Each structure stands twice: as structure tokens, then as C-alpha cells.
Structure 1
Amino acid sequence: MTASSDHLRWFENIGLEDLPLAGGKNASLGEMYRTLTTQGILVPNGFVLTTYAYRDALQAAGAWPKLHGFLDHIDTTDVTLLRKQSAKARQVVYDATGTDNLRHLVAVAYRSLEEEYGEEIAVAVRSSATSEDLPNASFAGQHESYLNISGAENIFDACRHCFASLFTDRAIVYRVNNNFNHFKVSLSVGVMKLVRSDRAASGVTFTLDTESGFRDVVLTTGAYGLGENIVQGVVNPDEFYVHKPTFRQGYRAVLRRVLGKKRLTMILAKKNIDGATTKNEPTPTDMQKRFCLTDDEVLLLADHALLAEDHYSRHAGRHMPLDIEWAKDGDDGKIYIVQARPETVASRKMAAMLETYSLHEKGTVLTHGRAVGEKISTGIVRVISTHDDLALFRPGEVLVAPSTNPDWEAVMKTAAAIVTDHGARTCHAAIIARELGVPGVVGTETGTQVLKSGQRVTVSCAAGEIGTVYEGEIPFEVTRIDADRLPHPRTPIMVNLGNPELAFHTAMMPSGGVGLARIEFIISEYIGIHPMALAHPERLAIADRQRVAEITEGSPSPSEYFVRTLSEGVGTIAAAFYPKPVIVRLSDFKTNEYAALIGGTAFEPQEANPMIGFRGASRYAHAAYADGFALECAALARTRGAMGLTNIIVMIPFCRRVEEAELVVATMKQNGLVRGRDGLEIYMMCEIPNNVIQMDAFAKEFDGFSIGSNDLTQLTLGVDRDSEIVAFDFDERDKGMLEMLRLAVAGAKRNGRKVGICGEAPANYPDIASYLVTLHIDSISVNPSSLLRTMGVVHEAELRG
């Protein structure tokens, strides 16, 4: 290994304090190589041509006056002029950095790498600016990188192109937009051993959720081949979440995973006529259907990410979320960390102002994909197929493209929204949309086909992970509330939540936890198959059996598909609010709703009145559903056990009689959910008049109660709330209902049991919220959209006494 100098440093001689010398990217690489490899993190070795090398070369060549002439007072909105002047600037830098001294330094250093890794070892040559990877500026993708370069002269040429890339169109625009002086920014070049992820996989790991800013998870994205496909948004990668608090406690489980399509794999190639050293090939179909990482590899990456985050946070003196690039080597099977930088967008979302967007109505869906951000916007579509189409774009339009690249950023910053065919949350389009604070919908697959230039659309990212493009202009509302001025009632205000995609965002609102997590949403939207059809696929008709086999392909068994999917959905909600209580209600589909699931007609009877038929607790020990209920129990047992999410409370719905309660609790015990074990509490929905009348008897079987005001009102008043003819008689404020609420709360407290309410009555009617406060109810749970309003109502009621 050669000695370090002002112009060349090895990774072992660089740290975070050397940012002026090595730039953000290379300073971070040196920091990891120097400090974290001793903790088991693998970082490829390499060296850096320093910013001194860059500045001294330009000074010696007299390049500065020329660069000023090209760039002083440049109008970055004039795309043609920008392209012309930036090309001239790059040529000046390329010529200036071709010195014999730098050529010699690179040749000697490369020989040292060959001694360590083998002759003609391929390397990655990467730019690193002094303004790059800062906590307040990412500069992601602004400067060039080159992969699969070997031979001293080729490496030196790549280094010169990297130096010159300080003046790409996109880098110039970015500096202007962020008020960085072109001539106070310097660039270094890192040369490191190339990880052969072209034969395996690569991706990005974040130490927070990139959409909500939620900090208690590690998010890993990955795809086969080299990582450029993910950054460029060419592929939809796999996604994996790990929950930090329980992981640190020793629980080793993937919280949630999403299978990406991964249709292309970027591999290395011999240098072609265009100078490219990589190429894309179609990913085999069987590989697309498999995750690119094993659970053990995901957990290893989470471990490395937390080690790195802890180290960087100690260095910064504050919590420092990270954006980490990783690569798996197909030759040795090991995972390497090839970059770590501060995450600069989502980590700033812990602001005092709470902002929520909501559509007033729904419209015709044109396309949908992965949502970026949580906003809504309307505008005229402009389809951009090539760089030349950018000249047609007008500020305030919705940019629609197959994918985007950094050269487009001057235009992207004026867009009302961004929609792409390809990409996921770590692609270029997503990064820029997030940074600009505009809604983005990426990975639609059909956006450029179904959306037409001149068409007015509404782009909504306010409904979780799925972003939707609607036809026309749909009215929407923006609510902004100063979190510091929110009232804080003594009575815990909880949320009703069944959609895991909304969990992280909702958890960042002030609440006492989840008062009702319905698993029906996960079963219908994520699984889509009747639980009994997964427990007994042999009973299905051939067509349904084939559909089940297709959906569950890749799982060890259909039953395991259900258990894993449900446990990950419930686990996501529980992790988002951990350690606050999350009350998970077991399934309460009616027979007609169950029959609508794949395979459902083979197991469901036809009932004249499903509302008061075979539903809730009556199903759980019944032969017609017992095996399906066993899968529900297995999923919740896994979430509390393997995942460590013991904040989950299990709740039984629509339990008619005390004997039925005893049977259900015993059945749960047989299926691994034992009341009292590991602190497990079992609640009952109080939604049938008999629940109130026999509260003392039910209290012996359950640890708490949650009043379901909808069904309790319906059954108390004998009103079908879905009937247009008599629905006007459905009123939770009826004196008889108020007395029923009083008896329920009093009965629970008489028996030393917790009692809350999980209907919308307190949100819809402030007088009911005030009444419940006078009863000293233990909690009130409402939909997220009603949370802040209910907090105010309850706080005022408490002040009145």
C-alpha cells in the first residue's frame, strides 16, 4: 500500500473530519473503513484523489478564469445555454486534471490494490464533493460514477471525468437552487474495489421510514445486480422492514416485506462503442418471484445499519439517520457496505406543524403506484419521453415519464407532481419529489400509456403507500395544526387503524395507541383468500385451487402464507405505536363478506341476515372455521413472540354469551394465545346488550372491554343502520343508548376492568364525548381524521369538570 499524501489518501487515513479534503462520500467511506470494520462491517478497500489534487491541478492550468467566464451569472432556466456552457466547463476541468503527477499516483495506488485483491482487479470510481452528503444537502446523483474499471490508465481517465462532472448540468442547477457557490465546492474521487453484486444483489438501507420520517424502523430495498437500477428507478425493488426497539432487545424477525418485480438485472459488460461498462438483462421469471435477500441477510443489514447509525450519531452529538448503500458479492457471498450518508429529507419531518391532506371525494382512477410523500396536487399532464421533451414542460404541470434522471432537475423543481412508470421509494424521481415536497407516484407501470399531455388530473399520496392518479380536478382539504398548541386531555385518545400502510404516518400524530386494529383489512387487501381455503386448499374447486397456488407461490405452504402476511401486517401497526397498547380485534367478517374472498363460497353458508348471523366469536371454535381461526391465532402469537411486540392486546368481537366467551378463551389457549402469558391481555368488544347486562360474568373471562357503539346502538334500538328507510332512527344520543353506555362503563369499573370506546360517536357528537368523560371512561378511540378534533372536545369537557 502506498503512503498517503496531500493529493492521495487511502481509506484507512480518512475520517469524517476530513470532509474538506475528501468530500462527503469519501470521508464517510474512510470513517467506516477505519472504525466500523473492527465491528464486523465489511467495507471494500480503496484510495482517494483529494480536493487538493483537484484545486492544485486547476490552479496550475490557469482554469479558474475560464470557469468563471462560463458560469458567472448563468441562467439555469435556459436549458440550451446551460448545456453548452457546462460542456465547456467540463472540458476545461478534464484537460487540467490530466497531469503526470496524478497519473503516477493512480498507477502506484492501483498496483497496491492489485497486490491485495489480484491482478486487473475491477474498481468503482466515484465522485465525492465537499458539499455532498451533508445533513442539509444530499447532492444525490449530481456527479458521475464509473463501475467495472480496470487498468491504471482507464482508472485515471475515469477519475478525470469524475472531476469534470462537478460541472454537469444537474450539478450546476442543484448548486444554484441551494445557494452553493460553484467555486467554493471542490471534488475528490474515490477508487474502491468493485463488489460483484452483478452476480448477486444490491440496494439501499435507511435507518428510518423514508415517507413518514418514522425513526423506529430500518428499511432495506434491494434488487438483483448492480445498484444503479434502483437509484435510476428502472426497477421496482424488494422492500424489508426491521423494528429497531425489539431488534435491540434481541428479537430477530423481519417486520414486513414487499416483493418487487425486479424485471431487469444490471450486470458488468465489456466496454462497448458508447463507453458503457454495464448493461441490463431481463431477470428470469423465477427470480422475480423470489426475494433477493434471505431473512438472515436482511437482519445482518439491520445490525450493520444500527451500528453505523449509532457511530455517526455519537460523532454528530445528535441522532443521525442514515442512507446506506450495500452490495452482496456473488463470488464470496458476503454483504459489503459501500456508502453511508446522512438522510436529508425524511429526517426533517419531525416538525412542530402537523399537516394532513384529504380528498373530499373519489374519482375515476387512471393509474396507481408507490406513493411518495403524503400530499395531494392537481395539474395538467405533460408526458416526457426524452430530454428534448423538457422544453415543452410548463411550471405547475404534472410531469409523467418512464423514469427520471438528474439532468431533468431544473424542470422537475417546477412540477406540481411527478409520476413514473418505473421505480420505487429510493429511485431518483422519488428522492427529488420528496426533497421538493411534491406528491410523487412511482412504479405505476402504465402512467405514460394512460395519461395524456393536456389532461387535468389529481395526484393523491394521502392514503398510505399507494399513490393514485385520478381523472380531473378533485377538491381536497389541507389541515395544518401546530403540535405545540395541541390540547392534552387526561383521557387517552387512541386511533382506529386497520391499514398497515398508514401506520407509521399515523403513529407520528399524538395518540394513546390503537384502540381498534381490525384485521379484516389485512385479510381482504393483502391476503385476499379465505382462511379456510388456505388451511384446506384440497376442498377448493380446481380454478380457485390454481389461484391460491399462484398467489402463495414462494411460501412453504398456503397456511404459512396467511400466517406470515397477517403477522407482518399486524406487526407493522404494533411496531409503529410500540410500546403503546395496540388492541387487535380478531376477524369479524360476515358470511357474505367471507364468501367474497377467493375460495370463500366453498366454506360459507348463505344467510338471510348476516349482520346477526355466523360472525365473530361464534365462528372461532366452530368446525366450519376452527382451522381458519387457528391461523389467526398463530399469526398473533408470532407477532407477540418472534417479533417481540408484546404491546398487542387481543380482542374478541361479537361474543354473545358467557359460555361462548369461555369456549373462545380456551380455544385461543389451545392455539398458543394464553391469557396472562408474557403479559397477554384479552379484551372483549362490548357491542351486544347481553354484554352489558352480564358484565360481571364476562369480566371474569376478559381483562378489558371496548364499547363498539355502532353495533351496540343498532341492537339496543333495533335499527338496521344500513337501511335507508329507518336509518334516521340510528342515534347514539338516544337516552336509552346513553344509559347503556353508563352501565357498560360502570360495570367494567365495578370489576376492576379497563373500558374504552372505539366507535365514531365521540368524534361525531361532542356531547357524547363530554358524557363519556363524566363517566371516567379509560380511553376513547376514533379514526385518525377525527383524532385532533376529539382531543380538543375531550380536553374542553375535562376543563368543565
Structure 2
Amino acid sequence: MDFSWVCDGEKVYLIEVNLRPPLSPTTMKFYHRTESTEPLLSGQAQGHSVGSGRVRIIRERSDLEDFQAGEVMVAVKTEPDWEPAFRKASAIITEKDRRVSHSSILAREMGIPAIIGCPEPTLALTNGQTVTVSCCQGQVGHVLPGRIEHPLDEFSLEKMPDVGVQLMVNLSMPERALATAQLPWAGAGLVRSEFMIGGWVKIHPLALLQPQKLSADTRNALDRLCSGFESFPEYFLTRMTQGIALFASAFWPRPVNIRLSDFKSNEYARLLGGDAFEPKEREPMLGWRGASRFLHPDFRPAVELELEAIRRVRDHLGLTNVRITIPFCRLPEEGEELLQLLASCGLKQEENDLEVWVMAELPSNVVMASDFAALFDGMSIGSSDLTSLTLGVARNSETIMDYFDELHPVMMKSYETIIEAGKAHRTAVSFCGQVASQDPESAALLAEMGVDILSLAPDALHPTLERLRL
């Protein structure tokens, strides 16, 4: 059923209701490999889907104005604020994006096939050329000439089979929550709140709290976005409460782990008004982010807004299936301070069944795994950051990316240490890294190691179940 609404700034009116034929909510589609066709290009597949369309090369942001629905986006590298165009794309091909980049994460969540690490696609392909992007043949994706049909099957699942590990889903977009929750996932193991801030709020939270520091043009833009709301902070609270509530209600009573915003300073600076509040750091990945940002007096009022939105969802709406996950927590002492901050904002651990988790994504989380496991209700392994920081490889490095191996023995030992600490303290351990979504063999290996939860991209359910059932 589709609803159409209008708002006059004070009241909301329901103006139209359209009935649609009922769909099976527990049915997924998946593609099979097709006959051998010589690819034009190959790269790293993101997801397990297939898409065809005409090529549209995006060399700069202004080219997005000409991007049409159903076209294949081709670029050297995408940017987070290209999200509206992602929604129109039938497929994405890039050269320098990585598996954990904004476009890769959103493409998987939207079910759009994407190929990254493709050699010079903007030179090899031409505007208007029809191609098929195939990501259904394992970890290597292919760009095929013309429109190549792939056999399509449906996969129906009303009850999750017992495979020895809980399967949860990674999400970022509130508008995808209802459809995704129709499948019998055990819950949402990772909800990235920074994507809600970027996509739903669009404004730096400190700009809403300190608008006097903004330029006249930025202040005018802020006024337009917040029109009809009681105050600037209330705009943030309303939008975030709505987004979080969508996730929580869609999955109720299954747990939903909301990870507090993990933007880095350069990413926060891209939000409206952000450049007035963010430092220019040479190494944002290792800088002002995560727990240290939340505890800093300059940013604490902003994270208190985020926490108030969570409190409203839990206390006012009664959606107590919402959990909190702390990102990039360097030390146990920092974790203790965070728990005190949460309590001061009406979110006390264990009160009203509140669970507080922590990301395990730093070498210090491994070395002090027992201390973190004793402090928090769960640990969620973020393998991308953990691999980068353990092996000393920048995720955007083009020269030493061969060293970035989330399944290297060093990393497997790190995961084992975290899992053992979790079992010793009866603390749940989840693995939400992208490698488990991309490679079913990796998912099976992690399940055998004893991880309690595998949190996967939405499109990874079928191939993962196929492997775990063996």
C-alpha cells in the first residue's frame, strides 16, 4: 500500500492511498552465472547482483546533473554526497573506491552491483555504451559487452535454519529497514548512524547548536532545511528519532545495534556548516573520531543530541530493542567514561534492558580484550579498521593494498583473542566486517572459530546460508 502526504508546515495531510498486489515478504532473488563471455573489464565484486544499462562517465560532480535512472555509473572515485545518484544507478564501476567506501556499502544495501578496483574504467568505456555488470560469480566482478541476460531464481525463507551462529544484518538507510526486516534475520547487528546524519539530517550537529558561527549563506541554507521545526536542535532530534525508530520498529522485538556516529573530521566537515567546526587533520582515520570525540568538551553537546534521540526511541516510543555500540574506543578507561556519559543522558547500562556494545577495531581492543569484554555487553569486530591498523596498511593505499588481508594469520589470531575473551566473560562477540559478506568461506571459518553473530550485508544472506548448510 502506497501513501501520499503533504505538509503545510503545521499539519500533515493524507491525500492518497494506492493498493498494490501483495508480495511475498520472505522471497529474495539471486542470479546464476551465465555462459562465458569475454569481459571488457574486471575488478572486485561488491554484492551478488547483476545490472545492465548505458554507461555514464562521471568525472566531476557537475556530471551528475545528466545522470539518468537505469544508467551505469562509471568514475575514478565516488564521493559520499553522490548518494542520490546511487539510487538511480543500475550498477557502479569505479577505479579507486574500496570495499568499505560509502558507495560500496550503499550499493550492497540497495542491491546494486558494483565493481571496484577496475583498471581505468573512465578510459576503457564510453558514454552511451551498453554494458552488463555481473557480480554473481564470486569475488571477481566482470563488465560484459552489451546486455547479457543471467538466469534468475527466487529464494524463499520464512524461518532461519539453525546453522550454529546467529545471522544479523548491517544497515545504514532507514528506508530499507522495513523490507529487510521481512526476512528472518536475528536482528540488525550494525546500524551506522553517521549515514542517517549524512542522509537524513545533512547538517553538522554543532551548526545546529551554534548557528552564530556560520556564514550568512550557510545560515540561510540551515533556515530552509529546518523550516517548520520548533528549533534547530529539535530538527536534529526529530529526524534522528524518526530514523532510529524506523529500524527499531521494523525489527521489533529483535535487537537493533545503533553504532554512534563514526564520521572522521574530513567527513563531518562535508556536512552543512561542518567546515566551521572541524579541524583539518592530516590523518583523520587516527584523529578526532569515535569515543575520544564524544568525550571532548567541544563535541560533547553534539553527541548528547544523538543520545537524546536514542533515549526518545527507547523511553518515549517503548522500542527497547535498541542497543548502543561505541565506535573507535581506544582504551578501557575511555569506555568507562563513555558509560558514565550515557548514564548522565538517561541511558544507563542494564537499566530498562539497555545493552552497550563496543567496536573491536583497534589493536588495543585485542591486547585488552578481556578488559573490554568485562566492561561491555558485547564486542563487534570491525575487521577493516582492525586489519588496517594491525598490519599498518592505509585502506586507500594503491601501492601496498596486497598487504591488506583480513584473513591473514595475524588477523585470525586477533579474532580468536577477542572471541576467547568474550566467552570467558560471557560477552557476545559479533563479526560485522565486510569480508564475511563478500566471501561465504570466510563466514563459515568465522562461525567455526566460535563467533556468536555474523552481521552481514543484506544481499549476503543466500550465499552465506548455502555455505553454512554444507
Once residues 361 and 605 of structure 1 are traced to their aligned partners in structure 2, the CA distance between those partners, rounded to angstroms, is 42
Once residues 739 and 692 of structure 1 are traced to their aligned partners in structure 2, the CA distance between those partners, rounded to angstroms, is 9
Q: Is residue 326 of structure 2 the alignment partner of residue 667 of structure 1?
A: no
Q: Is residue 389 of structure 2 the alignment partner of residue 718 of structure 1?
A: no
Structure-2 residue corresponding to 1:694: 368
Residue from 254, 270, 280 that aligns with 1:596: 270
TM superposition shift of 1:472: 7.0
Q: Is 2:25–2:182's contact at 8 Å kept on the other side of the alignment?
A: no
Residue from 289, 292, 297 that aligns with 2:12: 292
Report the 3-state secondary structure (helix = DSSP H, G, I; strand = E; otherwise coil) of the residue aligned with 2:164. Answer: coil
C-alpha distance after superposition, 1:594-647 (max 9, x if no partner) = 011111111111111001110011111201211100100011111112222111
Structure-2 residue corresponding to 1:677: 351
Structure-2 residue corresponding to 1:642: 316
C-alpha distance after superposition, 1:411-431 (max 9, x if no partner) = xxxxxxxxxxxxxxxxxxxxx
C-alpha distance after superposition, 1:482-541 (max 9, x if no partner) = 315985523111111001121112112332111110011111111111011111112222
C-alpha distance after superposition, 1:717-766 (max 9, x if no partner) = 11112100111110011111000010010101101101110011223334
Structure-2 residue corresponding to 1:101: none
Q: Is residue 424 of structure 2 the alignment partner of residue 750 of structure 1?
A: yes
Q: Is 2:440–2:463's contact at 8 Å kept on the other side of the alignment?
A: no
C-alpha distance after superposition, 1:305-334 (max 9, x if no partner) = xxxxxxxxxxxxxxxxxxx979xxxxxxxx
Report the 3-state secondary structure (helix = DSSP H, G, I; strand = E; otherwise coil) of the residue aligned with 1:563. Answer: helix
Count residues in correspondence: 378
Map residues 653-664 of structure 1 onto 2, 5 A cutoff.
653-664=327-338
**Residue type at the aligned position of 1:635:** A
Structure-2 change in CA distance of 1:484 and 1:359 (3 Å): closer
Structure-2 residue corresponding to 1:88: none
Once residues 212 and 415 of structure 2 are traced to their aligned partners in structure 1, the CA distance between those partners, rounded to angstroms, is 46
Once residues 560 and 649 of structure 1 are traced to their aligned partners in structure 2, the CA distance between those partners, rounded to angstroms, is 22
C-alpha distance after superposition, 1:342-401 (max 9, x if no partner) = x8634x2126642369554885465789xxxxxx799xxxxxxxxxxxxxxxxxxxxxxx
Structure-2 change in CA distance of 1:640 and 1:575 (3 Å): same
Structure-2 residue corresponding to 1:345: 20
Structure-1 residue corresponding to 2:145: none
Deviates most, 768-777 or 610-619: 768-777
Residue from 280, 283, 286 that aligns with 1:609: 283
Report the 3-state secondary structure (helix = DSSP H, G, I; strand = E; otherwise coil) of the residue aligned with 1:510. Answer: coil
Report the 3-state secondary structure (helix = DSSP H, G, I; strand = E; otherwise coil) of the residue aligned with 1:481. Answer: strand
Structure-1 residue corresponding to 2:218: 544
Q: Is 2:226–2:235's contact at 8 Å kept on the other side of the alignment?
A: yes
TM superposition shift of 1:544: 1.5
Structure-2 residue corresponding to 1:482: 155
Structure-2 change in CA distance of 1:377 and 1:692 (3 Å): closer
TM-score with structure 2 setting the length: 0.74
Q: Is 1:494–1:513's contact at 8 Å kept on the other side of the alignment?
A: yes
TM superposition shift of 1:292: 2.8
C-alpha distance after superposition, 1:414-468 (max 9, x if no partner) = xxxxxxxxxxxxxxxxxxxxxxxxxxx9xxxxxxxxxxxxxxxxxx9x949xxxx
TM superposition shift of 1:478: 7.5
Once residues 11 and 128 of structure 2 are traced to their aligned partners in structure 1, the CA distance between those partners, rounded to angstroms, is 34
Q: Is residue 192 of structure 2 the alignment partner of residue 535 of structure 1?
A: no
Q: Is 1:582–1:647's contact at 8 Å kept on the other side of the alignment?
A: yes
Report the 3-state secondary structure (helix = DSSP H, G, I; strand = E; otherwise coil) of the residue aligned with 2:12. Answer: coil
Once residues 366 and 314 of structure 2 are traced to their aligned partners in structure 1, the CA distance between those partners, rounded to angstroms, is 30
Q: Is 1:530–1:600's contact at 8 Å kept on the other side of the alignment?
A: yes
Q: Is 1:692–1:747's contact at 8 Å kept on the other side of the alignment?
A: no
**Residue type at the aligned position of 1:603:** F
Once residues 206 and 457 of structure 2 are traced to their aligned partners in structure 1, the CA distance between those partners, rounded to angstroms, is 30
Once residues 478 and 761 of structure 1 are traced to their aligned partners in structure 2, the CA distance between those partners, rounded to angstroms, is 26
Once residues 511 and 729 of structure 1 are traced to their aligned partners in structure 2, the CA distance between those partners, rounded to angstroms, is 33
Report the 3-state secondary structure (helix = DSSP H, G, I; strand = E; otherwise coil) of the residue aligned with 1:700. Answer: helix
**Root mean square deviation of aligned Cα:** 2.9
**Residue type at the aligned position of 2:281:** E
Q: Is 2:374–2:427's contact at 8 Å kept on the other side of the alignment?
A: no
**Residue type at the aligned position of 1:679:** D
TM-score with structure 1 setting the length: 0.44
Map residues 304-703 of structure 1 onto 2, 5 A cutoff.
345-346=20-21, 348-350=22-24, 353-355=27-29, 358=49, 360=51, 364=56, 366=66, 463=110, 473=130, 475=132, 479-483=152-156, 488-703=162-377
Q: Is residue 446 of structure 2 the alignment partner of residue 772 of structure 1?
A: yes
Report the 3-state secondary structure (helix = DSSP H, G, I; strand = E; otherwise coil) of the residue aligned with 1:598. Answer: coil
Once residues 665 and 353 of structure 1 are traced to their aligned partners in structure 2, the CA distance between those partners, rounded to angstroms, is 40
Structure-2 change in CA distance of 1:484 and 1:616 (3 Å): closer
Structure-2 change in CA distance of 1:717 and 1:352 (3 Å): closer
**Residue type at the aligned position of 1:553:** S
**Residue type at the aligned position of 1:492:** Q
**Residue type at the aligned position of 1:501:** E
Identity value in percent: 35
Once residues 732 and 608 of structure 1 are traced to their aligned partners in structure 2, the CA distance between those partners, rounded to angstroms, is 25
Report the 3-state secondary structure (helix = DSSP H, G, I; strand = E; otherwise coil) of the residue aligned with 1:475. Answer: strand
Structure-2 change in CA distance of 1:479 and 1:780 (3 Å): farther
Once residues 475 and 290 of structure 1 are traced to their aligned partners in structure 2, the CA distance between those partners, rounded to angstroms, is 47
**Residue type at the aligned position of 1:511:** W
Once residues 508 and 639 of structure 1 are traced to their aligned partners in structure 2, the CA distance between those partners, rounded to angstroms, is 21
Structure-1 residue corresponding to 2:83: none
Structure-2 change in CA distance of 1:325 and 1:554 (3 Å): closer
Q: Is 2:30–2:155's contact at 8 Å kept on the other side of the alignment?
A: no
Structure-2 change in CA distance of 1:479 and 1:510 (3 Å): farther
Once residues 440 and 326 of structure 2 are traced to their aligned partners in structure 1, the CA distance between those partners, rounded to angstroms, is 28
**Residue type at the aligned position of 1:664:** L
Residue from 351, 376, 383 that aligns with 1:709: 383
Once residues 261 and 165 of structure 2 are traced to their aligned partners in structure 1, the CA distance between those partners, rounded to angstroms, is 28
Structure-2 residue corresponding to 1:783: 457
Once residues 509 and 542 of structure 1 are traced to their aligned partners in structure 2, the CA distance between those partners, rounded to angstroms, is 47
Structure possessing the higher relative contact order (Cα contacts under 8 Å, 6 or more residues apart)? 2
For the pair shown, the structure with the greater C-alpha radius of gyration is 1
Once residues 484 and 576 of structure 1 are traced to their aligned partners in structure 2, the CA distance between those partners, rounded to angstroms, is 17
Structure-2 change in CA distance of 1:508 and 1:607 (3 Å): same
Structure-2 residue corresponding to 1:340: none
TM superposition shift of 1:768: 2.6
Once residues 151 and 197 of structure 2 are traced to their aligned partners in structure 1, the CA distance between those partners, rounded to angstroms, is 31
Once residues 624 and 472 of structure 1 are traced to their aligned partners in structure 2, the CA distance between those partners, rounded to angstroms, is 50
C-alpha distance after superposition, 1:649-668 (max 9, x if no partner) = 10000000111111111111
Structure-1 residue corresponding to 2:81: none
